[in-house]
């Protein structure tokens, strides 16, 4: 019942008729002319075809991926990237995570205006060139980086002057102007992997009521370049995240502010916190709890996960004692597939109480907590930490 709307299927999608900028064709043309180096999606990337908002087909590479990490995830929600890599290990997929990466720096742009298109486009091209020279295809973890790179890609394709200026900077770095054939968010990877992920499921999540917060910068920035699917909300809402929850058999509840932002607002989370926390609690957490009776808020981006989680506590000042666990789709999926909630999913960094959720999922958190504490002590006495991969030192 609860999930009927999310599960609604249509035989084919009715795409809105907006004629978006045909960046893909023009990008490939620029690549042929030698104006830009285009990172192609190759056979070895094992791409899966999906449909975007406007009906365009997008290919999502699933293998041989270069992790474009997110600063906010790595800094505050380390179980987020860890869960992505854990799944790749489970599937035996190749990937590369390295220290030779900068963030997209778009927080500065959206938050304080202390960047500009030239710097942002150059940072994008730098990171893409780095992925290109390693032979791995970039997978963007952060929603803002994804949105920002989509925007920079379109600007670079549209404006020759910008390409020329960025190329000049790239040459100073000993690099070239590089753009990938498709800019791919990890939630898109998760979407195309959802049936394989469901096969790994160890926990029964059928009684867990989830609510999804789709991130503004994944689906509202360059909206035509994100996945919609005939099997999710009748093709009407962005498919990723909801799709993996459906595949895992969780309940997905609708709520009346599903499309509102989280309140993060870049500068607001730091300097207009009354906005961020009021918005997060009143406009998001409250409807999730009171309308949808949700057990967990499932996100797909960095800032939203932090804002929705960290801003709940202060609601007590107004008598709103919400404790709705907040985590990314890939963290929830990892838990459902038997990942260690402490060592791998790293829930210790999450603020709203998540232990009752684990109990509902049939996870014995006490056992894992004990192991985690022992593990910390071992590390304290000089033991080597467990790693998902071996870091290659250049």
Partner 1 sequence: MSEAVLIIGGGPAGLAAAASLADLGVEAVLVEKEPELGGTPKKYAYSKLVPDLRPAQETLAPLVQRVQGREGLRVLTDARPTAVSGKAGDFKVRLAGPAGEEELSAGAIIVATGFEHFDARRDTKYGYGIYPDVVDIRDMERMLSEPQLKRPSDGQVPQRVGFILCVGSRDRMVGNTYCSRVCCSVCCVQAIEVKEKNPSAEVYIFYMDIRTYGLLENLYWEAQEEHGVLFVKGRVGEILPRDGQLMVKGEDTLLRGPFEVPFDLMVLASGMEPGEGTVQVAELLNLAREPNGFLAPRDSHTAPLEAAVEGVFLAGADLAPKFSDDAVAEGAGAAVRAAAFLRSRAGR
Partner 2 sequence: MPDDKDREKHEIFEELRADPRYHDFVRGCLNCGVCTGWCPSHRFFDYAPRIVIQNCLAGEDRVYGMMGEYIWACAQCFSCAMVCPFNNNPGGVVAILREIAVRRGMMSAKRVLKPYSRVLLKVMTFGNQVSPDMIQPDFFPDWGPKIPWAQEDLELKRQAIPVPTLRTVESAWKVAESTMNELYTINKEAGIFDLVEVNDPGLAEVIEDDVQDKVAAYLAEEAKKE
User: Does 284 participate in binding partner 1 (rule CB under 8 A)?
Assistant: no
Compute the least distance from the CB of residue 84 to partner 2, in Å: 9
Among residues 254 and 329, whose Cβ is nearest to partner 1?
254
Among residues 9 and 379, whose Cβ is nearest to partner 2?
379
Interacting residue with partner 1 among 226, 258, 332, 368 (CB under 8 A)? 258
How many angstroms separate the CA atoms of 153 and 162, rounded? 11
Among residues 3 and 130, whose Cβ is nearest to partner 2?
130
User: Does 229 participate in binding partner 1 (rule CB under 8 A)?
Assistant: no
Compute the least distance from the CB of residue 294 to partner 1, in Å: 14
Structure tokens at 124: 């994008």
How many angstroms separate the CA atoms of 99 and 66, rounded? 11
User: Does 237 participate in binding partner 1 (rule CB under 8 A)?
Assistant: yes
Compute the least distance from the CB of residue 86 to partner 2, in Å: 8
User: Does 287 participate in binding partner 1 (rule CB under 8 A)?
Assistant: yes
How many angstroms separate the CA atoms of 191 and 119, rounded? 31
Question: Taking each helix axis from N to C terminus, what angle separates 329-336 and 79-90, rounded to the nearest 10 degrees?
Answer: 50
Structure tokens at 92: 């035996």
**What's the longest Cα–Cα distance across the chain?**
62
Alpha-helical regions (H) of the chain: 4-7, 23-33, 71-76, 79-90, 106-112, 117-134, 143-158, 160-172, 186-192, 194-199, 216-219, 242-248, 267-271, 273-278, 286-290, 302-310, 329-336, 355-360, 365-380
How many angstroms separate the CA atoms of 104 and 302, rounded? 13
Interacting residue with partner 1 among 1, 11, 19, 199 (CB under 8 A)? 19
Alpha-helical regions (H) of 194-271: 194-199, 216-219, 242-248, 267-271
Among partner 2, partner 1, none, partner that 242 touches (CB below 5 to 8 angstroms by kind): none
Among partner 2, partner 1, none, partner that 31 touches (CB below 5 to 8 angstroms by kind): none
User: Does 340 participate in binding partner 1 (rule CB under 8 A)?
Assistant: no
- Residues in contact with partner 1, counted by CB under 8 A, come to a total of 20
Compute the least distance from the CB of residue 275 to partner 1, in Å: 15
Interacting residue with partner 1 among 76, 105, 257, 351 (CB under 8 A)? 257
Among residues 231 and 291, whose Cβ is nearest to partner 1?
291
Output Rg (C-alpha) for the chain, integer angstroms: 21
Compute the least distance from the CB of residue 8 to partner 1, in Å: 6
Structure tokens at 359: 């109990």
Compute the least distance from the CB of residue 42 to partner 2, in Å: 25
Compute the least distance from the CB of residue 78 to partner 2, in Å: 5
* Environment class of 134 (CB within 10 Å of its CB; exposed 0-12, middle 13-18, buried 19+): middle
Binding residues for partner 1 (CB under 8 A): 5, 8, 10, 14-19, 233-234, 236-237, 254, 256-259, 287, 291
């Amino acid at each position: 019942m609860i999930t009927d709307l999310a599960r609604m299927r249509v035989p084919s999608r009715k795409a809105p008729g907006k004629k978006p900028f045909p960046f893909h064709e023009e990008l490939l043309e620029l690549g042929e002319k030698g104006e830009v180096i285009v990172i192609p999606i190759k056979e070895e990337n094992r791409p899966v075809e999906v449909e975007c908002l406007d009906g365009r087909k997008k290919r999502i590479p699933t293998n041989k991926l270069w992790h474009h990490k997110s600063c906010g995830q790595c800094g505050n929600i380390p179980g987020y990237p860890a869960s992505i890599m854990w799944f790749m290990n489970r599937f035996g997929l190749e990937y590369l995570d390295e220290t030779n990466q900068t963030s997209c720096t778009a927080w500065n742009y959206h938050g304080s205006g202390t960047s500009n298109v030239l710097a942002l486009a150059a940072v994008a091209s730098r990171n893409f060139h780095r992925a290109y020279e390693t032979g791995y295809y970039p997978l963007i973890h952060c929603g803002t980086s994804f949105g920002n790179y989509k925007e920079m890609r379109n600007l670079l394709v549209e404006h020759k002057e910008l390409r020329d200026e960025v190329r000049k900077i790239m040459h100073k770095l000993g690099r070239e102007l590089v753009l990938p054939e498709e800019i791919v968010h990890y939630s898109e990877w998760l979407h195309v992997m959802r049936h394989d992920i469901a096969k790994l499921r160890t926990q029964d999540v059928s009684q867990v009521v989830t609510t999804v917060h789709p991130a503004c910068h994944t689906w509202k920035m360059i909206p035509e370049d994100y996945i919609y699917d005939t099997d999710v909300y009748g093709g009407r809402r962005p498919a990723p995240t909801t799709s993996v929850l459906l595949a895992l058999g969780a309940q997905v509840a609708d709520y009346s502010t599903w499309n509102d932002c989280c309140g993060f607002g870049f500068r607001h989370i730091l300097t207009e916190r009354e906005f961020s926390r009021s918005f997060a609690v009143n406009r998001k957490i409250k409807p999730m709890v009171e309308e949808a009776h949700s057990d967990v808020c499932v996100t797909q981006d960095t800032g939203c996960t932090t804002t929705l989680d960290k801003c709940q506590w202060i609601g007590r000042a107004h008598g709103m004692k919400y404790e709705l666990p907040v985590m990314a789709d890939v963290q929830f999926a990892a838990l459902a597939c038997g990942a260690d909630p402490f060592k791998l999913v790293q829930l210790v960094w999450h603020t709203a109480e998540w232990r009752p959720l684990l109990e509902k999922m049939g996870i014995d958190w006490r056992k894992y907590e004990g192991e985690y504490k022992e593990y910390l002590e071992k590390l304290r006495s000089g033991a080597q930490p467990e790693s998902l991969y071996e870091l290659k030192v250049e």
